[in-house]
Amino acid sequence: MKIAVTGGSGFIGTKLRKELEAQGNICVNIDLKEANDILDLPKLTALLQGCDCVYHLAAEHRDDVFPRSRYYDVNVQGMRNVLAAMDANNIGHIIFTSSFAVYGLDAQTPDETAAPAPFNDYGQSKLEGEEVLKAWAVKNQKANAIIVRPVVVFGENNRGNVHTLINQVAQNKFLMIGDGSNKKSIAYVGNVTAFLRHCLNDQSALEIYNYADGPDFTMKQLMNVICDKLGKPKPVFALPFVAGLGAGYVFDGLARITGRNFPISAVRIRKFCADTTSSADKARRSGFNPPFTLEEGIERMINHDFAPMKKAA
């Protein structure tokens, strides 16, 4: 197959492309790093010529994006452009990575039938992108549209939230905020890309899957696993949630005044302390079996990205 991957130079996209190509597919990488922008419709249309399927991973996803309209430019108009380019090339097959953020915070382990309630512009823009795709699928007789809503994804070479946590522990700079009893669903990139490849076999006109690896960890359990794999002592002290949130608002104010990005923000504190758990039973019922356990994923990431710090412990 000839497969286009938007965001193909990103964390998930890079690994997905390599795995698809290893299976004998030809991949077209549509990414800003390759000077290919999904907001450039004529160029996007030309790039999709001869493709059989599109993996749409490109997104604006950071917590600190300004102006906020950028989320909607990339995540909503970008979806419209991808679908318009697909129509121009008579392509009906798309696999879209949305986000668990469409459910909002403290969503009580939603399954795919739960009502979305995004709490920030990223989640809202991803939800609006989904709605654009759903409307297209209803009108398109050739539609084979799969929406995947992953939770936080971690793995080798990623510099997201889990990397930040591991790095703080490795440098003895981690401070627990809250009592650590809140639960987190997370997903190892090797399992996520395996599931995305699995979705190539799903011939549904429109289907939605949550994706998370189990079992869910409490934040305290997650930190204990990280500490064990790094050979570091487990955290003893914790900052109350209210104090941590207050600090986040202070740094938000400083960011607006100075134009700088800080590692602490109110959104990040709220996300850290929230229960963020997902029901991914539907993905399992599809016949998918993840190739790695969560602990294996964490260990693989630490061995790859933190080997010198692990030895120093």
Percent of the chain with pLDDT over 70: 97
235 prior amide bond cis, ω within 30:
no
C-beta separation of 244 from 177 below 8 A:
yes
Q: How confident is the model at residue 121 (pLDDT cuts 50, 70, 90)?
A: very high
pLDDT value, residue 217: 94
pLDDT at site 310? 62
Within a domain: residue 267? Answer: no
Cα 107 versus chain centre, distance? 17
Q: pLDDT band for position 62 (50/70/90)? A: confident
The yes-or-no verdict on residue 55 having pLDDT over 60 is yes
Q: Please give the positions annotated as active site.
A: 122
Mean pLDDT over residues 121-140, rounded? 97
Length of the chain: 313
Query: Could you give the number of structural domains in the chain?
Result: 1
The answer to whether position 129 is within a domain reads yes
For residue 5, with 0-12 CB atoms within 10 Å meaning exposed, 13-18 middle and 19 or more buried, which class applies?
buried
In a domain, 88, yes or no: yes
50 lies in some domain: yes
pLDDT in tens, 156-195: 999 888 999 999 999 998 999 999 999 999 999 999 999 9
Smallest Cα–Cα separation from 297: which of 148, 116, 166, 143? 166
- The whole-number average pLDDT for the span 285-292 is 97
Instruction: State the pTM of this model.
Output: 0.90
| 205: in domain | yes
- Determine, yes or no, domain membership for 255: no
Residue 108 confidence (pLDDT) above 90: no
What are the phi and psi torsion angles at 240 (to 5°)?
-55, 150
Q: Which residue has better confidence, 170 or 262?
A: 170
In this predicted structure, the answer to whether residue 223 has a pLDDT above a threshold of 60 is yes
Q: Binning pLDDT at 50, 70 and 90, where does residue 77 land?
A: very high
- Characterize the bridge pairing of strands 26-30 and 53-56: unpaired
Strands (E), the chain: 2-6, 26-30, 53-56, 93-97, 144-150, 152-154, 176-177, 183-188, 206-211, 213-218, 238-239
Rounded to an integer, what distance in angstroms lies between the CA atom of residue 137 and that of residue 208? 12
Identify the bridge partners of residue 154 per DSSP, sorted by sequence position: 188
Quick one: CA dihedral 100, 306, 233, 250, positive or negative? negative
Alpha-carbon distance 190 to 213, whole Å?
11
CATH for 87:
3.40.50.720
- Is residue 231 included in any domain, yes or no? no
Distance CA 103, CA 109 (A): 9
Asked if residue 262 is part of any domain, the answer here is no
Q: Give the pLDDT score at 276.
A: 87
What would the two tokens of residue 155 be? 């793995």
Structural domain of 82: 2-154+185-213+277-291
